[in-house]
Amino acid sequence: MSAAKAVILLAATAAAAPRLDAQPAFPHREWRVVMRDAVGTTVSIDSAAISRTGDGVFMVRTATRFPERLELENGLQFTGEVDVEELNCGADSIRGFVSQLYADTMLVRLVPLANTWEPVPENRRPVFAAHCEYLRSSFAASLPRTYRADAVEEAPRLANRGAAADALWREYPPRLRAAGQRGRVVLRFRITERGAVDLASISLDSFSDPAFAEAAIRVASTLRFRPARLDGEGVAVWVTLPINFEPANGNENPFADAGPGAPLQRQPRPEIPPSMRPE
The domain boundary residue, chosen from 115, 143, 171: 143
**Cα angle for residues 111, 114, 158 (degrees, 5° grid):** 80
139 and 8 housed in the same domain: yes
Domain shared by 119 and 167, yes or no: no
What's the CATH code of the domain at 53? 2.40.128
* Same domain assignment for residues 253 and 234: yes
User: Residues 136, 7: one domain?
Assistant: yes
Among 143, 171, 195, the domain-final residue is 143
User: Which pTM value belongs to this model?
Assistant: 0.76
Cα dihedral 98, 29, 58, 228 sign: negative
**Domain span at residue 100?**
3-143
| Whether 139 and 156 share a structural domain | no
Asked if residue 219 and residue 90 are part of one domain, the reply reads no
The verdict on 185 and 212 lying in the same domain is yes
Please count the structural domains in the chain. Answer: 2
Q: Are residues 160 and 77 in the same domain?
A: no
Co-location of 7 and 99 in the same domain: yes
* Shared domain check, 190 and 84: no
What's the CATH number where 260 sits? Answer: 3.30.2420.10
* Co-location of 138 and 156 in the same domain: no
Full pLDDT tens readout for the chain, 279 residues? 333 333 323 233 333 333 334 344 444 468 899 999 899 999 999 999 999 999 999 999 999 999 999 988 888 899 999 999 999 999 999 999 999 999 988 888 899 998 999 999 999 999 999 999 999 999 999 999 999 888 899 999 999 999 998 999 999 999 999 999 999 999 999 999 999 999 999 999 999 888 999 999 999 999 999 999 999 999 999 999 999 998 864 333 332 333 233 232 223 333 333 334 444
Residue ending a domain, among 143, 168, 193, is: 143
Burial class (CB in 10 A: 0-12, 13-18, 19+), 62: buried
Quick one: 125 and 195 in the same domain? Answer: no
